[in-house]
Amino acid sequence: MATPDWLPAEIRDRARLRALAAGECLFHQGDATVAIFLVETGRLQLVRHAGGARQVILHTARAGDMFAEAALFSPVYHCDAVATAASQVRVYPKRALLAALRRDPGVAARFMELLAHQVHALRARLQERDIRSARERVLHHLALAAGPDGRTVSLDGTLMDLAAEIGLTHEALYRALAALEKDGTIERTASGIALRDAV
pLDDT tens-place string over residues 103-121: 999 999 999 998 998 888 8
Task: Report pTM.
Answer: 0.75
- 190 Cβ contact list (under 8 Å, min separation 6): none
pLDDT category at 3 given cuts 50, 70, 90 is low
- Same topology, domains 9-128 and 131-195? Answer is no
Residue 145 clears pLDDT 60, i.e. is over it? yes
Whether domain 131-195 has CATH 3.40.50.12280: the reply is no
pLDDT tens-place string over residues 9-63: 888 888 999 999 999 999 999 999 999 999 999 999 999 887 767 777 888 899 9
Domain ranges of the chain: 9-128, 131-195
pLDDT category at 199 given cuts 50, 70, 90 is very low
The CATH code belonging to domain 9-128 is: 2.60.120.10
Which CA distances in Å does 98 have to 7, 74, 94, 111? 11, 12, 6, 11
pLDDT tens-place string over residues 152-178: 888 877 888 888 888 888 899 999 999
CA distance 149 to 57: 29
Mean pLDDT, rounded, for 82-100: 95
